[in-house]
Structure 1
């Protein structure tokens, strides 16, 4: 049913359950797993970075390192199940890059994690997951992270 599954990860706790779900689906369907991390251009372009000497010390570089670690985590976990992973790190607005990557790579399913945010947060900022669900042509599986009390 699935040949190419896209896991969009941000390396946060909200991605943890999604990683396991995506790996399990890729294993079950003998599918290629694409792991995508998007360095949010809105984050680093809004920061002046005056105290940084060059681009290798700035917020963009730090976000790339977080992305590389998040992708390595997916690849390591997938290797334990014998699932092959294609890692991708892109720059841009996360929801746009996820939707574009899925279309460019012929993805059959997008897997995203989510966690509950206060209503004020959602109404002010929305969420990447909400935007991807609305914009993607491919099926989207949203894996919730339970709220710990």
Structure 2
């Protein structure tokens, strides 16, 4: 078992080489009966009980939804400096945000981690990520 100090020491170089961007869109979660144009939406999840669509608020009239989560969400795209091989990376991010009382939804894709935060928590979330060592913006574009 690794101590918390050693774990954080191993994780910090990965964080220091990681960066994030903020999507310009504003997103909503909806419960739907069917999806007719999945390509319009950020995410469509089907399970045996329901279909959930995460979509930009401008796509909402095109979605025949049963229910909508009342909050608006902002999307932060995090690029890990060592994807697939950074034990505790997600736990560290979620832990920092949970300690600040920030509710998130997290989805990992092949090349990035998508962190959705409520619109009113965006500024605090960015501040926490930057203070932890994440770079804001794509370093290859700077």
TM-score tier after normalising by the smaller chain length: under 0.3
Higher helix share: 1
| TM-score, structure 1 as length reference | 0.26
Structure possessing the higher radius of gyration over alpha carbons: 2
| TM-score, structure 2 as length reference | 0.26
Higher strand share: 2
